[in-house]
A and B are shown apart, each in its own frame.
Chain A
Amino acid sequence: MLNSSLQQLSALIAAKKISSVELTNEFLSRVKAQNPVYNAFITVNEEMSLAQAHAADAMIASGQGQPLTGIPIAQKDIFCTKGWLTTCGSKMLSNFISPYDAGVIERFNTVGAVNIGKTNMDEFAMGSSNETSFYGPVRNPWDITTVPGGSSGGSACAVAARMAPAATGTDTGGSIRQPAALCGISGIKPTYGLVSRYGMIAFASSLDQGGPMAKSAEDLALMMNVMVGFDTRDSTSLQRASEDYSRDLARPLQGLRIGLPREYFVEGLSSDVASAVESAIAEYRKLGAETVEVSLPNTKLSIPVYYVLAPAEASSNLSRFDGVRYGHRAPEYTDLNDMYQKSRAQGFGAEVKRRILIGTYVLSHGYYDAYYIQAQKLRRLIAQDFSEAFKHCDIIMGPTTPTTSFPLGEKSGDPVQMYLSDTYTIATNLAGLPGMSIPAGFGNSNRPVGLHIIGNYFAEAQMLNAAHQYQQVTDWHIRIPDTLNGL
């Protein structure tokens, strides 16, 4: 049961072979037993989960069931969830019981999915290892001495350790794809604007995008069908006709043109990741796809550009945390300014403060043109690289990350080294393109490797098709760590 796909669980529920309450109880006991090892969840609330499960069973009994009705889904703790503690991995929000639901949460509630718990994450989604969480690091199920990636590390771990059949994540510079790669699961960041940002606690608003994390592309498609949709309360939400993201899964890959950016296969890429990715691409050739070399000449600039734009937007977004209306307020202060200064100094962790300082600096008088405007101009060049490349190919592939998972603590003292973990993922956020990661084998020490698939705008169904066809001829996505054998 714990190892089943969403598709299988959905069939069991529809055939009334298992109830949502039974399924939810099964996952809740799994979480109870395993979470002390992994620390993937910040909040578990059996009573609220089971109330949803009972409601789902009633929906099914009255013939109102949909594909995800009654199925437990882990929610990243960045999504405001009414009546649930919603911390965003921060001390600042460690007392914040959300008074409302995020757009994404509403959509899951509408179809009767069960919230199985709120997952751990890097504080305010700022991190690539889940080590910046106020609630402590998450451990990678493939090797608990290594990181699960971040910022959606808890979600990736929950799926990989079979504590949830699927989870939500958010991706500002790689926060769905990088942890998916490091934990050996599948994850997709949709085209910017497809998933509502309403109630998704903001980090860098022009880059943030929610998306699903699951075991397979087929399951991601089911999640996308629920998560994507127009929301008037998000000013950048796109109004488009609704799509069935499963519609093209079965299509053969004959003639698919895969672009391989030459800048993705150079120095910095570790050899074990390179060879796994090359084997995956060879598999695609066997499936009938053609490969063409493409160039994304400004790839190297994406990290510098991102570390200007994302902190700039973050410094503005996080100015709302002032200890007045909600969140942490310092216990002692002398006046209003001192209250702000102390509440923010106590409420934010080191990485968040660092990014607020960078952002404040690049937006300050005298530096705005040299940093912020220059970064926005380079952002356009980076986006143009992709539109040029897509003239020669349908889809782009490469490694999701330069290395497999790394030991806890290895990079936490050196921000620049940590930032380089997102070398391959950041450019798609800057361009607003969809990107996904799927398991593509293992590197040294049996650590998972992710294959990165980048599509053109709104090409999610095509990307899921490419991923699904690969998952029909490989079994990387159903492998589990040895410690989980017997499930």
Chain B
Amino acid sequence: MSLTLDDIKRVANLACIETSETEAATALVHLSGIFSLIEQMQAVDTSSVKPMSHSQDLVQRLRDDIVTESDQRELFQSIAPKTESGLYLVPKVLE
């Protein structure tokens, strides 16, 4: 597999990270090196192996459906970039 500059730009866009031409070119060099390391994985036949997502076989715990958090809106919004009347402000999405 070989990565292209277009792959880098596509993935950067999916990841919502603005990337200049120079940055994309550097990323291509680094990611190509990393993927040549990653490619070692393909040499192993794993057709009979079950994927392991986690080291412990855990069941998700359930809890009673009751309120556990108190209202801390003011505290949480005190560190927000922009708020107004208890709302987080972002640029207009709908005209």
Chain A residues in 8 Å Cβ range of B53 = 206, 376
Contact B34–A378 (Cβ < 8 Å)? no
A2 within 8 A of B: no
Knowing A301-B40, A340-B16, say if A357 contacts B76 (CB, 8 Å).
no
Determine if B61 and A193 form an interchain contact, defined as CB atoms under 8 angstroms apart. Answer: no
B31 near A358 with CB under 8 A, answer: yes
Q: How far is the CB of A184 from chain B (nearest CB, A)?
A: 29
Interface size, A (range): 35 or more
Pairwise interchain contact A339-B90, C-beta atoms closer than 8 A: yes
| Chain B residues positioned under 8 Å from A375 (CB to CB) | 41
Provide the residues of chain B in CB contact with A354, threshold 8 Å: 27, 30-31, 34
Question: With a CB–CB cut-off of 8 A, which chain B residues contact A415?
Answer: 30, 33-34
A356 in the interface (beta carbon within 8 A): yes
By a CB distance below 8 angstroms, the chain B residues around A137 are none
Of the candidates A327, A356, A383, the one whose C-beta lies within 8 Å of that of B17 is A356
Q: Is the CB of B81 within 8 A of A323?
A: yes
Task: Tell which of B38, B40, B42, B90 touches A336, judged by Cβ atoms closer than 8 Å.
Answer: B90
- In this assembly, does B67 line the interface, its C-beta being within 8 Å of a C-beta of chain A? no
> B66 at the A/B interface (Cβ < 8 Å)?
no
Stretch at the interface among A111-119, A221-229, A304-312: A304-312
Q: Given the interface contacts A342-B18, A353-B17, does A305 sit within 8 Å of B61 by beta carbon?
A: no
Q: Is A406 an interface residue, CB under 8 A from the partner? A: no
Bound: A193/B38 CA distance, A: 27
How distant is A236 from chain B, measured CB to nearest CB, in Å?
6
The 6 closest A-B pairs by CB, nearest first: A432-B55, A376-B51, A380-B52, A329-B81, A345-B18, A377-B46
Q: Which residue of A lies closest to B74 (CB)?
A: A99
Given contacts A319-B15, A360-B11, 9 further A-B contacts (CB under 8 A): A232-B61, A305-B41, A327-B81, A341-B16, A357-B8, A371-B41, A374-B42, A380-B49, A431-B55
Q: Decide if A379 touches B91 in the complex (CB within 8 Å).
A: no
A59 to B91, CA, bound (A): 50
Is the CB–CB distance between A341 and B17 below 8 Å? yes
User: CB distance A370 to B42 under 8 Å?
Assistant: yes
Chain A residue numbers with a CB within 8 Å of B51 are 373, 376-377, 379-380
Q: List 6 A-B contacts (CB under 8 A).
A: A99-B75, A206-B54, A324-B80, A340-B16, A344-B18, A370-B42
CB proximity of B51 to chain A, nearest CB, Å: 4
Provide the bound-state CA to CA distance between A72 and B56, in Å: 34
Contact string, B41-76, partner A, CB cutoff 8 A, digits 1/0? Answer: 110101001111111101011010000000010011
User: A357-B15, A358-B34, A360-B11 are known contacts. Are A377 and B52 too (CB-CB below 8 A)?
Assistant: yes
A459 / chain B contacts, CB cutoff of 8 Å: none
Which residues from B are CB-within-8-Å of A95?
A: 79
| Chain B residues within 8 Å of A339, by CB | 90-91
Contacts of B18 in A (CB 8 A): 338, 341-342, 344-345
Fill in one digit per residue for A330-346: 1 if any B CB lies within 8 Å of its CB, else 0.
Answer: 00011111111110110
Residue numbers in B under 8 Å from A401 (CB-CB): none
| Contact residues of A: prevailing secondary structure | helix
A364 at the interface (CB under 8 A from B): yes
Beta-carbon contact of A308 and B60 below 8 Å: no
Kindly identify, within residues 71 to 119 of chain A, every residue whose CB is under 8 Å from any CB belonging to chain B.
95-97, 99
Any B CB within 8 A of the CB of A57:
no
Write the nearest CB–CB distance from B67 to chain A, whole angstroms.
15
A322 to B92: give the CA distance in the assembly, Å: 16
Q: Is A361 an interface residue (CB 8 A)?
A: yes
Contacts of A356 in B (CB 8 A): 15, 17
Question: A304 — which chain B residues lie within 8 A by C-beta?
Answer: 37-41
The answer to whether A383 and B41 have CB atoms under 8 Å apart is: no
Complex CA gap A378/B52 in Å reads: 8
Contact of B41 among A334, A374, A431 (CB under 8 A): A374
A419 within 8 A of B: yes
> Is A99's CB under 8 angstroms from B46's CB?
no
Interchain nearest-CB distance for A469 vs B (Å): 28
Residue-wise, chain A 290-324 has the 8 Å CB interface mask toward B (1 for contact) of: 00000000001101110110000001000100111
Known: A99-B75, A325-B76, A380-B49. A236 touches B42 (CB 8 A): no
Q: Most chain-A CB neighbours within 10 Å: which of B12, B75, B78, B88?
A: B12
Q: How far is the CB of B56 from chain A (nearest CB, A)?
A: 6
Q: Are B79 and A326 in contact (CB under 8 A)?
A: yes
Distance A319 CA – B47 CA, assembled complex (angstroms): 32
Which of A329, A336, A338, A414 touches B82 (beta carbons < 8 Å)? A329
